A and B are shown apart, each in its own frame.
Chain A
Amino acid sequence: MLNVKDLVVNYGAIQAVKRVSFNVQQGEIVTLIGANGAGKSTLLHTISGLMRPASGSITYLDQPIQKLAAPKIVRAGISQVPEGRHVFPGLSVQENLQMGAFLRQDHAAVSQAFEEVYTYFPILKKRRHQDAATLSGGEQQMLAMGRALMAKPKLMLLDEPSMGLAPLFISEIFDIIQAIHQAGTTVLLIEQNAKQALKVADRGYVLASGQVKLSGTGAELLATPAVQQAYLGG
């Protein structure tokens, strides 16, 4: 479904992503794990069209997308839940969700999407008239996920959804990711929380200093000594 090939992304003179290749098949949960500064968010931003690669290609459903602007990529069915939530403060929860459906014209389908999101995240329904800025970190994460779902994506990109959340909240978020996946959305999950990510993932890639160092099924990577040492605390 998504095929990234020899991707190079620079910030001026700094090469943040160095010839990365990986793919995501329809119906999978694929995880990319890596330490701070490995280039994970840069990669996602490039897929989402916020950054342009210096070289390499990104193919989605057999179409090259590395030259498309961000709104076109959303329209094609790729939605990102950015690192650090990035909900819109000053807009209510409901307005944030409405912005998630910015490109959709079909009102009936949009109200249905609202219902779906409120089923995944009942707390958002309770808070729907509240300013998004007043939500707790965990609730903001849910709102950011809900907002991405409003576009009815075929492929959902999640950038460190567990960042800064309490363990109980983390497992709830992971449960919901699995539920979203079960409902038919392909998932590319970026995590530093490698253990949990590899448990739910079909396949995973380990990214370090802008390069793919290892890849395999979730179970294989969990069992790899190098991964255990570097990401699972020995």
Chain B
Amino acid sequence: MQTFGQQLINGLSLGSIYALLALGYTMVYGIIKLINFAHGDIYMLGAFWGYYSISYFHFNFWLALFSAMVVCAIIGVVIEYFAYRPLRHSARITALITAIGVSFLLENGMSYLVGANARSFPQAIRVVTYHWLGLRVSNIQLLILGTACALMILLEVIIKRTKMGKAMRAVSVDPEAAQLVGINLNQTISFTFALGSAMAGAAGVLIGLYYNSIDPLMGMTPGIKAFVAAVIGGIGSVPGASLGGFIIGLLETAVQAVGLSAYKDAVVYFVLIVILLVLPAGIFGKRTREKV
């Protein structure tokens, strides 16, 4: 029971980071039907921004988190503008391959600029471990969980309540009709990239704090897992992405807990396959036909 509780806490902390990342995949897919393979690398850039801003500019954790979100939002918007926008009317596969190219560019560009070795993330917050009912919970875990949940709630409010959020949903479901009411597609798409990339930037800083180690390729595996999370939740669905993230985090932790660490990634893909067989549109996916 204790182990269960312990793993639950570990799984939720990890899951909340996947959830933050999955949100970006799902929002971008929702609006331009692109699987943004460079999304995991935005998260890596967020982690590096956190690293430099804390080590060299002596930012405190909150300032590092906030500035990483802003910086990543800008990077996301710039990538969309230069890499994806010119391909808006090309075949989907073209944009997809471009996304993979952007991902390589960011990974190798960073390896070139800062070196490929892992470096340890500065401890912006002193680790305190609480013992509670026999469980070990660190303040970092609580911080990650709390921050991630707060950001998800914030995102939900933006999407549900603000005018830009509603415009985003309108563009996702019907870009032509959205233009006919005066919504500017480019602005709305930029806004979506900004939101999604800001979430990835936050996730990058949080993971730096959690795992203590960052490197230019750190975005690859979490990027793929977050993508899987988005698919499991139903790609295009915001609550689905959050749920999917938590599912993947819990699953991965559970697999490690039973001593199958070596298979943790394989299990994630296995679950993906099973879910897609049972629920082809994901948990929250709409089963309506896709417009061609």
Contact = CB atoms under 8 A, between A and B. Distances in A.
B182 A50 contact: no
A91 interface: yes
Majority-rule SS of B interface residues: helix
B166 A91 contact: yes
A172 to B, nearest CB: 23
B169 A88 contact: yes
Interface string A77-110: 0011010001111110001001110110000000
B178 A99 contact: yes
Interface in A103-128: 103
A74 B271 CA distance: 47
B177 A88 contact: yes
Interface in B129-182: 163, 166-167, 169-170, 173-174, 176-182
Given A99-B166, A99-B167, A102-B167, A48 B173 contact: no
- A-B complex: 9 closest residue pairs judged by Cβ atoms: A74-B182, A86-B177, A70-B179, A103-B182, A71-B182, A102-B182, A88-B170, A80-B180, A99-B181
Contacts of B180: 48, 50, 70, 74, 79-80, 82, 86, 148
Contacts of B163: 98, 102
B76 to A, nearest CB: 23
B184 A90 contact: no
Given A71-B183, A74-B182, 20 more contacts: A71-B184, A74-B181, A80-B180, A82-B176, A86-B174, A86-B177, A88-B173, A88-B174, A88-B177, A88-B178, A90-B169, A91-B166, A98-B163, A99-B178, A99-B181, A102-B167, A102-B181, A102-B182, A148-B180, A150-B181
A102 B184 CA distance: 10
A99 B183 contact: yes
A82 B176 CA distance: 9
Interface string B230-246: 00000000000000000
A99 B170 contact: yes
A46 to B, nearest CB: 13
A90 B176 contact: no
Contact of A102 (B169, B173, B174, B183): B183
A80 B169 CA distance: 20
Name the residue in B167, B176, B181, B184 with the highest tally of chain A Cβ atoms < 10 Å from its Cβ.
B181
Interface string A51-76: 00000000000000000011100110
Contact of A100 (B174, B179, B181, B184): B181
A90 B170 CA distance: 8
Interface in B96-140: none
A87 B180 CA distance: 11
A106 to B, nearest CB: 14
A8 to B, nearest CB: 21
Interface of A: 48-50, 69-71, 74-75, 79-80, 82, 86-91, 95, 98-100, 102-103, 147-148, 150-151
Nearest to A104: B182
A99 B184 CA distance: 12
B176 A91 contact: no
Contacts of A89: 173-174
Nearest to A157: B180
Contacts of A50: 176, 179-180
A82 B181 CA distance: 11
A87 B178 CA distance: 9
Name the residue in B167, B178, B180 with the highest tally of chain A Cβ atoms < 10 Å from its Cβ.
B180
A154 to B, nearest CB: 14
Nearest to A48: B180
A79 B166 CA distance: 19
A221 to B, nearest CB: 28
B177 to A, nearest CB: 4
A86 B178 CA distance: 9
Contacts of B166: 91, 95, 98-99
B183 A90 contact: no
A150 B170 CA distance: 16
Contacts of B184: 69, 71
A115 to B, nearest CB: 19
